Amino acid sequence: MKKFKFTKKLRLLNSKHFSFVLQKYKKFYTQEIMILWRLNMLEYPRIGFLISKKIIKKSHERNRIKRLIREHFRINYLTLPNIDFIIIVKKNIVDLNNHTIKEQLEIIWRRCRQYHILSLD
């Protein structure tokens, strides 16, 4: 049985990592979530967040959203291609319940898997 740990290596930690993605990215989005992504040369995907205080004022809401996204990524990272992801959320995500956010993330991960498979052909 594989362990689904969210270790430090699965995170974009500094501006160099974020700049790598922002130089030449592709994007997938739903109404509330946008993901910028770029293939990396590592053997695993990584994730980072751009969630501003201007967009989501209350810290407990920002933390809830980050926690949901991290948890969903942790469970699914073994099925994702070797990609660096930057998650950007919009203001109206605060009004959504946890289940709806998870559904939107699943849609985005599915699109990403399909795009990666198509690009390999």
Q: What is the pLDDT of residue 100?
A: 93
Which element (helix H / strand E) includes 29? strand 26-29
Predicted confidence (pLDDT) per residue in 3-29, tens digit: 777 888 899 999 999 999 999 998 888
Q: What is the pLDDT of residue 76?
A: 87
For domain 8-120, say whether CATH 3.40.50.410 is its number. no
Predicted confidence (pLDDT) per residue in 29-65, tens digit: 888 899 999 988 999 999 999 998 999 999 999 999 9
**Residue 117, pLDDT above cutoff 80:** no
Task: Give the residue from 10, 18, 17, 70 showing the smallest Cα distance to 44.
Answer: 10
Dihedral-angle region of residue 71 (phi above 0 means left; psi in -120 to 50 means alpha; beta otherwise)? alpha
Q: What is the pLDDT of residue 119?
A: 64
Q: What is the pLDDT of residue 1?
A: 46
* Unique residue bearing structure tokens 């997938």: 28
**β-pairing verdict for 83-89 and 46-50:** parallel
- Band (pLDDT 50/70/90 cuts) for residue 91 is confident
Start-end of H helices in 1-121: 15-23, 59-76, 98-120
Q: For the whole model, what pTM was predicted?
A: 0.86
